[in-house]
């Protein structure tokens, strides 16, 4: 299937590794002009890389200025940010939430609002937010991620209805257990808290996945590329699980 992404411009956040890198690579492979954003080294794909740390309140404006200077206003915006530290609900403080809001919510909606007018004017736009299956089933020990991602998801759902008639779709991808550095870090943290070996935690996690394995980043990237394409024009306001069947809901 031709995804018709040749010549489309994409801006991908958190693209130096993990799921963001997989999405950037998939879009580039389909012919999109990709601009990547990360707080450190280049993603190694795409036309332009912007170094910015979304924890910095000024990061969104830095990204907007760089995109405008390069005349690469995106048709496709992938909202993606590194996950916050583990924390239980009984102990997470307002200060803990305030620390993750800049990168997990504020920067993301600022960028979407900045690039939306051009998308609406041209009659084509794709906003894709990388969230988590915790939107459906909150993950124990990850209250910061559970709560803030839920807030972004509600914002995306509301926006989707506002812009659908203008040819702009807004969707969420909910990764389950995909083999990334982030997942390895979470398994290590769980192992330390439970007095187990990290490999034991990983094995136990895989046993709970009907597919019998962890997901691959490239599989996730391929799904994102489809949703970002003109082929997916009638899919909006949706949250799509990519979890090997693990989440026990439809």
- pLDDT tens per residue, range 144-193: 999 999 999 999 999 999 999 999 999 999 999 999 988 888 888 888 88
Detail the DSSP E strand segments found in the chain.
9-12, 33-38, 48-51, 76-79, 125-130, 168-175, 239-242
For residue 114, pLDDT over 90 is answered with yes
Average pLDDT of the segment spanning 51-57: 95
3-state secondary structure of 207: helix
3-state secondary structure of 178: strand
For residue 43, pLDDT over 80 is answered with no
- 143-163 and 107-122 helices, crossing angle to 10°: 20
* pTM > 0.85: yes
What does the alpha-carbon distance between residue 241 and residue 250 come to, in Å, rounded to a whole number?
9
Q: All domains of the chain, ordered by start, with CATH?
A: 9-176+216-235 (3.40.50.720), 177-214 (no CATH)
Average pLDDT of the segment spanning 182-211: 87
For residue 4, pLDDT over 90 is answered with yes
- What pLDDT, on a 0 to 100 scale, did the predictor assign at position 214? 97
- What pLDDT, on a 0 to 100 scale, did the predictor assign at position 45? 87
Question: In terms of C-beta density within 10 A (0-12 exposed, 13-18 middle, 19 or more buried), how is residue 248 classed?
Answer: exposed
DSSP state of 104: I
Average pLDDT of the segment spanning 191-216: 90
Task: Tell me the average pLDDT of the chain.
Answer: 95
- What pLDDT, on a 0 to 100 scale, did the predictor assign at position 125? 98
**Residue 120 or 40, more confident:** 120
Average pLDDT of the segment spanning 40-55: 87
In the chain, % of residues over pLDDT 90: 83
**What are the DSSP calls for 11-33, one per residue?**
EESS-SSHHHHHHHHHHHHTT-E
- What pLDDT, on a 0 to 100 scale, did the predictor assign at position 233? 98
- What pLDDT, on a 0 to 100 scale, did the predictor assign at position 221? 98
- What pLDDT, on a 0 to 100 scale, did the predictor assign at position 250? 86
What does the alpha-carbon distance between residue 31 and residue 39 come to, in Å, rounded to a whole number?
25
CB < 8 Å & 24+ apart, contacts of 88-92: 88/140, 88/141, 88/143, 89/143, 92/143, 92/144
For residue 44, pLDDT over 80 is answered with no
Average pLDDT of the segment spanning 127-131: 98
CA distances from 241 to 26, 97, 128, 136, 234 (A): 18, 25, 13, 9, 18
DSSP state of 221: H
- What pLDDT, on a 0 to 100 scale, did the predictor assign at position 47? 86
């Amino acid at each position: 299937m031709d995804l018709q992404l040749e010549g489309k411009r994409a801006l991908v956040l958190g693209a130096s590794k993990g799921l963001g890198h997989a999405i950037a690579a998939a879009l580039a492979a389909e012919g999109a002009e990709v601009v990547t954003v990360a707080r450190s080294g280049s993603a190694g794909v795409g036309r332009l890389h912007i170094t910015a740390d979304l924890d910095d309140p000024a990061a969104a404006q830095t990204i907007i200025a760089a995109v405008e200077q390069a005349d690469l206003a995106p048709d496709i915006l992938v909202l993606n940010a590194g996950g916050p530290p583990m924390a239980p609900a009984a102990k997470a403080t307002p200060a803990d939430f305030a620390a993750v809001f800049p990168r997990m919510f504020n920067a993301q909606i600022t960028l979407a609002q900045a690039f939306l007018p051009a998308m609406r004017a041209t009659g084509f736009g794709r906003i894709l937010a990388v969230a988590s299956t915790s939107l459906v089933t909150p993950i124990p020990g990850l209250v910061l991620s559970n709560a803030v991602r839920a807030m972004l998801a509600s914002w995306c759902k509301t926006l989707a209805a506002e812009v659908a008639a203008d040819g702009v779709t807004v969707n969420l991808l909910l990764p389950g257990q995909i083999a990334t550095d982030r997942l390895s870090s979470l398994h290590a943290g769980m192992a330390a808290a439970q007095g187990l070996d990290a490999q034991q935690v990983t094995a136990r996690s895989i046993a709970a996945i009907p597919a019998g394995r962890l997901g691959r980043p490239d599989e996730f990237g391929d799904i994102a590329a489809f949703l970002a394409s003109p082929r997916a024009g009638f899919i909006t306001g949706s949250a799509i699980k990519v979890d090997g069947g693990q989440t026990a809901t439809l």
